[in-house]
């Protein structure tokens, strides 16, 4: 496979995953904004923005954290390279370049998304409920995933797509937890239990995992349980462990297919071993923020190695 | 001016269209509108679009698709096929000759300066004979019809004629929307095209190639207006679609960058112009090409289709000599006629052209895509005068032809069905063998009375049927 083709596939997945993450964050923001404001709580829209790592860029262009501004910036704004509109467009453009590596159905999913996006962009904002936008986005990304799973050859192209999904998701999960890491820090009942519970619930909701959590653990929410679920539990679809396993599987398959190991396989193994050896206790001992920072750095190094070993064509 | 209508002769339906009359009459307006919308949605979903250079606007513009097919009988096509193959053969013989000994020039049958002073003549490949002596592997020959048996060649395209994807997709669309038509009429299939194209490209593998040749399509990239076609063909043939940056030269060979490391490339079906192929040989500012490619080519390490320099045969001034080429190389009489052409480079011709501008079509010698031309009968006095000055400034840059009375075929328009002018571009493949699928691209001028069918000028496309015996 051409290195450029692999690169395009990888980025289709990253952009689509990015759009999905943003849609989920927007959904949470909308939900939070419907709850009565508790005393001393920060503006939730601001924390949503923090999770995307784009607060500075936002403030350059918009003067307040009003919902409409956030929606504009995170969904519609073409000046924001990570907005949902930008990501979906970039994914489709990458797809158009590698049409030959996609099945008709996969292309259809990407292209239909883009065509509908253009419709949405022409619709007056007053007719666009935020929930409609986020539902639509997650539906489109699900459709793409479905088309990939149902129709694509299980060859190297499939591995590069999966690498893109898993790397982007690992990064997103780590960042989302990191934004709220302080609410997970075990404290000896300093803050009222009610307030803390709300924050935890919101974190789970941000990852669309609140119900899954209760099925998996039951009982009271605790910081340890949540950290375990989001970081270490391979049953949780967004957990760092799950992402690490998916990355490792794709890379192992590539190594087998091409008959050679690269730095990427090496780093993926390292990431996975680190997660396997970790316990919630050890993580809190290291410091949740420090641990997440390390994971984010390791994921970035891994993405770099994937690029150098497969996508750049310089080897 | 009266025009030959391919379906109706006075009030009689001509035999090739007999199978379409009931279909046409039985289609209520509402169904037609619905089918047309369906076709458009399908085209857009598949992503068949055509960006027009320099027009800005919607980069995802669709080429209008007309559902009314254009039909040839088996015997009509037989004559066309023989004429097209003959022409493709002669054009390639001409190219081999002018990059070799130049016999046709020595024999005084074509002026030396027309060839050797030609911008499209590539000195860099003089003396080199490409595999199988083929320069132009895909020859697109534009043909117009003026009567029941009168066909004229309007121009030859020896470099990288585009549009074949529309031929294939139009058929696909028609079969999907009107399967009954295909059950009721015996229509020769065109879906062998990509197999024939791959066969052709593989048959011209370079000398140094061992084993099965690796074929790629070289595209300028996804911003190019024909990118859809490039990726469509790559997909059908199962070959890689590469950009210049995906290829590099190492030693005697060309390689592509893959996830498994460098992979050797044997045959490049390029969809970029000569000037951009190799910055070391042609335009040094080209970002689209591959540095060192021409050295590998000349030493037999890679084949380039069409061969660099093939453009000298499809120049509009050289065009006038194609009948002469057929006689000279093949010892045959041309089966398809040229349109009478005046070369403004000649004093007598120039005088005639300037005196008769309102009746003529004037074209730039190197122009293409319907740009920079004058259609006399459709132009205002001012436009004609402006063009007169352009011709006088550089007469040798222009040729003129009579305004042909292009045939019409029924076409769906706002008010129902009406005749519109059409042309035809078949795609002849030249490798070890010469092959032609029964069909081509029919372009239709959708505006009433318009004779310009180019898609860049708002023309549309139709499915083209050749009826089986």
What would the pLDDT profile of B224-259 be if each residue is shown by its tens digit? Answer: 888 889 989 998 999 999 999 999 999 999 999 999
Mean pLDDT of chain B: 90
Residues of A whose CB is below 8 A from B232: 99
Band the pLDDT of B55: cuts 50, 70, 90: very low
- Higher-confidence residue: A91 or B50? A91
CA-wise closest residue to A39 among A187, A181, A198? A198
Q: pLDDT value at position B368?
A: 60
B260 in reach of chain A (CB within 8 A) = yes
Q: pLDDT value at position A189?
A: 42
What is the distance between the alpha carbons of residues B110 and B104, in angstroms, rounded to a whole number? Answer: 6
**Cα A221 off chain centre by:** 23
Band the pLDDT of A88: cuts 50, 70, 90: very high
Please give the residue of chain B at the shortest CA–CA distance from A313: B257
Joined together, the tokens standing for residue B201 give: 């490209």
Band the pLDDT of A190: cuts 50, 70, 90: very low
Residue B107 has pLDDT above 80, yes or no: yes
Average confidence (pLDDT) over B347-353: 91
Residue B28 has pLDDT above 70, yes or no: yes
Band the pLDDT of A191: cuts 50, 70, 90: very low
Q: pLDDT value at position B283?
A: 81
Contact by Cβ (8 Å): B267, B302: yes
What is the distance between the alpha carbons of residues A266 and A305, in angstroms, rounded to a whole number? Answer: 9
Q: pLDDT value at position B198?
A: 97
Neighbour tally for A172: CB within 10 Å:
23
Residue B357 has pLDDT above 60, yes or no: yes
CA distances A236 to A20, A208, A212, Å, are 17, 11, 8
Residue B425 has pLDDT above 90, yes or no: yes
**Closest Cα of chain B to A272: distance in Å?**
24
Mean pLDDT lowest among A298-312, B293-307, B316-330, B368-382: B368-382
**Closest Cα of chain B to A72: distance in Å?**
23
- Tell me whether strands B267-270 and B215-218 are parallel, antiparallel or unpaired: parallel
Band the pLDDT of B448: cuts 50, 70, 90: confident
Mean pLDDT lowest among B51-55, B72-76, B360-364: B51-55
Mean pLDDT lowest among A131-135, A292-296, B282-286: B282-286
Band the pLDDT of A40: cuts 50, 70, 90: very low
CA-wise closest residue to B92 among B54, B143, B129? B129
CA atoms within 13 A on the CB side of B349: 18
Please give the residue of chain B at the shortest CA–CA distance from A159: B259
Is A314 in Cβ contact with B222 (below 8 Å)? no
**ipTM value:** 0.78
Joined together, the tokens standing for residue B57 give: 């606007």
Please give the residue of chain B at the shortest CA–CA distance from A110: B45
CA-wise closest residue to A176 among A57, A38, A17? A17
Residue A295 has pLDDT above 80, yes or no: yes
Contact by Cβ (8 Å): A25, A70: no
- Tell me whether strands B337-338 and B360-364 are parallel, antiparallel or unpaired: unpaired
Is A6 in Cβ contact with B259 (below 8 Å)? yes
Residue B53 has pLDDT above 50, yes or no: no
Residue A58 has pLDDT above 90, yes or no: yes
What is the distance between the alpha carbons of residues B256 and B242, in angstroms, rounded to a whole number? Answer: 8
Contact by Cβ (8 Å): A226, A213: yes
Mean pLDDT lowest among B12-16, B18-22, B155-159, B315-319: B315-319
**Residue B257, φ and ψ in degrees, nearest 5:** -85, 115
Q: pLDDT value at position B94?
A: 98
Residue A315 has pLDDT above 90, yes or no: no
Q: pLDDT value at position A35?
A: 65
**Closest Cα of chain B to A111: distance in Å?**
7
Average confidence (pLDDT) over B44-73: 71
Mean pLDDT lowest among A17-21, A161-165, B274-278, B372-376: B372-376
Average confidence (pLDDT) over B380-407: 90
**Closest Cα of chain B to A48: distance in Å?**
35
Residues of A whose CB is below 8 A from B221: 97
pLDDT tens, position by position, A213-260 = 888 887 777 878 888 999 999 999 999 999 999 999 999 999 999 999
Contact by Cβ (8 Å): A268, A261: no
Average confidence (pLDDT) over A42-62: 82
| Domains of chain B (ranges, CATH numbers) | 8-192+310-338+406-466 (no CATH), 207-301 (3.40.50.11290), 342-402 (3.30.1490.270)
To 5 degrees, how large is the angle CA B57–CA B42–CA B454? Answer: 50
Q: pLDDT value at position A36?
A: 61
Joined together, the tokens standing for residue B278 give: 């190799």
Q: Which residues in A have their CB inside 8 Å of a CB on B?
A: 1-6, 93, 96-97, 99-100, 104, 107-108, 111-112, 115, 156, 160, 254, 258, 310-311, 313-315
Beta bridge partners of B259: none
Residues of B whose CB is below 8 A from A6: 259
Residue B37 has pLDDT above 70, yes or no: yes
pLDDT tens, position by position, A139-166 = 999 999 999 999 999 999 999 999 999 9
Joined together, the tokens standing for residue B419 give: 């005749």
Mean pLDDT of chain A: 87
What is the distance between the alpha carbons of residues B245 and B180, in angstroms, rounded to a whole number? Answer: 47
B232 in reach of chain A (CB within 8 A) = yes
CA distances A39 to A42, A43, A182, Å, are 9, 11, 18
What is the distance between the alpha carbons of residues A17 and B76, in angstroms, rounded to a whole number? Answer: 56
Mutation for testing the A interface, residue in B259, B264, B269, B288 having most A CBs under 10 Å: B259
CA-wise closest residue to A8 among B231, B202, B270? B231
- Distance between the two ends of chain A, CA-based, in angstroms? 14
Question: What percent of chain B has pLDDT above 90?
Answer: 65
Q: pLDDT value at position B370?
A: 62
Residue B375 has pLDDT above 80, yes or no: yes
Residues of A whose CB is below 8 A from B46: 104
Joined together, the tokens standing for residue B59 give: 């980069």
Is B259 in Cβ contact with A258 (below 8 Å)? yes
Is A3 in Cβ contact with B257 (below 8 Å)? yes
């Amino acid at each position: 496979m051409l290195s450029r083709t692999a690169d395009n596939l990888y980025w289709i997945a990253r952009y689509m995953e990015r759009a999905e993450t943003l849609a989920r964050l927007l959904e949470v923001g909308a939900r939070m904004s419907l709850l009565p404001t508790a005393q001393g709580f920060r503006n939730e829209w601001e924390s949503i923005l923090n999770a995307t790592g784009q607060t500075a860029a936002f403030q350059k262009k918009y003067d307040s954290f009003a919902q409409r501004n956030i929606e504009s910036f995170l969904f519609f704004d073409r000046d924001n390279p990570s907005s949902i509109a930008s990501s979906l467009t970039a994914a489709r453009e990458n797809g158009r370049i590698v049409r030959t590596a996609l099945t008709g159905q996969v292309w259809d999913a990407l292209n239909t998304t883009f065509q509908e996006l253009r419709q949405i962009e022409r619709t007056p904002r007053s007719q666009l409920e935020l929930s409609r936008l986020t539902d639509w986005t997650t539906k489109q990304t699900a459709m793409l995933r479905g088309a990939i799973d149902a129709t694509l050859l299980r060859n190297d192209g499939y591995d590069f797509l999966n690498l893109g999904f898993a790397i982007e998701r690992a990064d997103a999960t780590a960042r989302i937890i990191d934004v709220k890491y302080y609410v997970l820090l075990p404290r000896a009942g300093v803050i009222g239990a009610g307030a803390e519970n709300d924050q935890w619930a919101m974190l789970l909701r941000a990852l669309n995992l609140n119900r899954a959590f209760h099925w998996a653990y039951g009982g009271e929410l605790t910081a340890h349980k949540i950290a375990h679920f989001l970081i270490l539990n391979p049953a949780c679809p967004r957990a760092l462990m799950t992402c690490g396993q998916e990355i490792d599987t794709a890379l192992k398959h590539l190594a087998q297919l091409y008959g050679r190991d690269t730095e990427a396989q090496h780093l993926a193994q390292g990431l996975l071993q680190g997660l396997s050896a970790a316990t919630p206790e050890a993580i809190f001992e290291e410091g949740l923020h420090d641990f997440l920072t390390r994971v984010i750095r390791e994921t970035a190094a891994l993405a770099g190695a994937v690029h150098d070993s497969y996508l750049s064509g310089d080897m | 001016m009266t025009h030959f209508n391919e379906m109706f002769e006075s009030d009689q339906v001509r035999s090739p269209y007999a199978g379409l009359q009931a279909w046409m009459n039985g289609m209520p307006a509402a169904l037609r509108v619905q089918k047309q919308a369906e076709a458009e949605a399908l085209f857009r979903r598949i992503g068949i679009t055509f960006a027009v250079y320099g027009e800005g606007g919607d980069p995802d513009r669709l080429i209008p698709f007309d559902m009314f097919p254009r039909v040839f009988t088996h015997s009509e096509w037989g004559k066309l096929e023989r004429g097209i193959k003959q022409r493709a053969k002669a054009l390639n013989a001409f190219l081999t000759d002018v990059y070799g000994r130049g016999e046709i020039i020595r024999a005084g049958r074509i002026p030396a300066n027309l060839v050797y002073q030609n911008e499209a003549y590539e000195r860099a490949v003089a003396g080199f004979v490409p595999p199988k002596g083929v320069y132009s592997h895909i020859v697109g020959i534009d043909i117009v019809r003026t009567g029941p048996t009168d066909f004229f060649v309007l121009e030859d395209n020896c470099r990288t004629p585009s549009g074949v994807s529309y031929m294939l997709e139009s058929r696909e669309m028609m079969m999907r929307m009107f399967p009954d038509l295909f059950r009721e009429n015996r229509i020769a299939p065109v879906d062998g095209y990509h197999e024939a194209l791959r066969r052709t490209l593989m048959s011209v593998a370079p000398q140094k190639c061992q084993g099965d040749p690796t074929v790629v399509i070289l595209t300028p990239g996804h911003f190019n207006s024909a990118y859809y076609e490039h990726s469509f063909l790559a997909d059908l043939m199962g070959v890689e679609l590469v950009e210049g940056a995906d290829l590099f030269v190492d030693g005697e060979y060309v390689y592509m960058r893959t996830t498994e490391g460098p992979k050797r490339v044997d045959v490049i079906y390029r969809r970029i112009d000569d000037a951009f192929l190799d910055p070391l040989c042609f335009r040094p500012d080209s970002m689209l090409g591959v540095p060192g490619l021409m050295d590998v080519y000349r030493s037999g390490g890679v084949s380039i289709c069409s061969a660099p320099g093939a453009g000298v045969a499809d120049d509009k001034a050289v065009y006038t000599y194609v009948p002469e080429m057929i006689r000279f190389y093949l010892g045959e009489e041309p089966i398809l006629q040229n349109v009478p052409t005046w070369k403004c480079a000649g004093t007598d011709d120039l005088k005639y052209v300037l005196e008769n501008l309102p009746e003529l079509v004037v074209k730039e010698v190197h122009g293409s895509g319907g740009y920079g031309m004058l259609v006399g009968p459709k132009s205002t006095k001012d436009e004609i005068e402006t063009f007169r000055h352009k011709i006088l400034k550089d007469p040798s840059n222009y040729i003129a032809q009579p305004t042909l009375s292009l045939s019409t075929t029924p076409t769906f328009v706002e008010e129902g069905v009406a005749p519109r002018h059409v042309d035809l571009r078949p795609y002849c493949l030249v490798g070890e063998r010469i092959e032609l699928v029964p069909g081509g691209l029919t372009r239709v001028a959708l505006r009433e009375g318009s004779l310009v069918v180019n898609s860049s000028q708002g023309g549309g496309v139709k499915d083209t049927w050749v009826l089986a015996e």
